[in-house]
Amino acid sequence: MKKELITRIYLRQLKNETHVQFNENVNSVFVKYNPQALGIKALYDLYKLAFDNEIEALDIIRKSEITAKITDQDHRRDTVYRGFVDTVKGAMNHFDTAHSEAANLLYNIIQHYGNIAKKTLDDETAAINDLVRELNQPAPAQAITLLNVQMWLDKLVEENDQFTALMTERYVETAEQTPLRMSQTRTEIDKYYHAIISQIENQWLASSAVNGAFVRELNAVIERFKNILAQEKGEQKSKS
């Protein structure tokens, strides 16, 4: 079994901004210790080109006017979602038993989806769609009618649909502005990053001629971003 010299990290879990920051740090370590001296020059050149493409793709996303609209629309649907949840939660204390039971039924369904407003953009869209479908089932639908909260649900659907439309518009805009897609560039740079790590470890197995300071510094970068991932997961879990 091949021994791992360099710490592993699941790069696909990093958000776009964090993914770029990770590669900025990794690239700095590569440059500091000289790709030629590390024996990775050919692969590094491919990695650097992919990294430049990733920065360009992210820059286009940052500068997009639609991105600002998406952020605003996400806030709007979050506000409606929280208003809907608070209204249902408040009805759980209704003096009428039928109303309180209806509210409890709806709130239990809502709780099943966690804190939707804290999910990633695409996950939130999907969660709202799933929640609405479940709330349209006979029993929840009767509870919604009894509590007179259909207007909240209709508004949530409206805001979520508008968000989806803006996301589609951004995909079209990005495709027209550049052939570089963030998902494609991330896949490309991850491929070369893993190839570099594999080559360094193969060299180590062959001759043990690996710069220890380089490995320690690279692993320190990786561990820092693994901690960022762990913190993000912990926050999502605590807020769900």
For the chain (240 residues), the mean pLDDT of every run of 10, in chain order, is: 76 89 96 93 96 87 77 95 97 96 97 91 94 96 97 97 89 60 89 95 76 90 92 58
- For residue 26, what are the contacts with CB-CB under 8 A and spacing of at least 6? 193, 218, 221
- Closest alpha carbon to 59 in 178, 229, 188, 163: 178
Question: What is the SS3 assignment for 136?
Answer: coil
pLDDT computed for residue 240 by the predictor:
46
Counting Cβ atoms within 10 Å, is residue 238 exposed (0-12), middle (13-18) or buried (19+)?
A: exposed
Distance from C-alpha of 239 to C-alpha of 29, rounded to nearest angstrom: 35
- Closest alpha carbon to 68 in 166, 157, 175: 166
pLDDT computed for residue 174 by the predictor:
60
Question: What is the SS3 assignment for 96?
Answer: coil
In a domain, 223, yes or no: no
227: which 2 tokens? Answer: 């901690």
In a domain, 239, yes or no: no
What value, to the nearest 5°, has the Cα angle with vertex 28 and ends 23 and 29?
Answer: 100
pLDDT computed for residue 186 by the predictor:
92
Domain tally, the chain: 1
- Closest alpha carbon to 39 in 221, 220, 210, 218: 210
- Closest alpha carbon to 143 in 81, 207, 184, 97: 97
DSSP state for residue 39 in the 8-state scheme: T
- Closest alpha carbon to 192 in 59, 49, 55, 58: 49
In a domain, 205, yes or no: no
Domain that holds residue 145: 65-177
In a domain, 74, yes or no: yes
In a domain, 92, yes or no: yes
Distance from C-alpha of 183 to C-alpha of 205, rounded to nearest angstrom: 33
Determine the angle formed by the axes of helices 41-63 and 65-91, rounding to 10 degrees: 70
pLDDT computed for residue 173 by the predictor:
64
pLDDT computed for residue 123 by the predictor:
92
In a domain, 35, yes or no: no
- Closest alpha carbon to 30 in 18, 21, 39: 39
Determine the angle formed by the axes of helices 65-91 and 150-177, rounding to 10 degrees: 160
pLDDT computed for residue 232 by the predictor:
73
pLDDT computed for residue 202 by the predictor:
87
In a domain, 60, yes or no: no
- Closest alpha carbon to 127 in 135, 119, 138: 119
In a domain, 221, yes or no: no
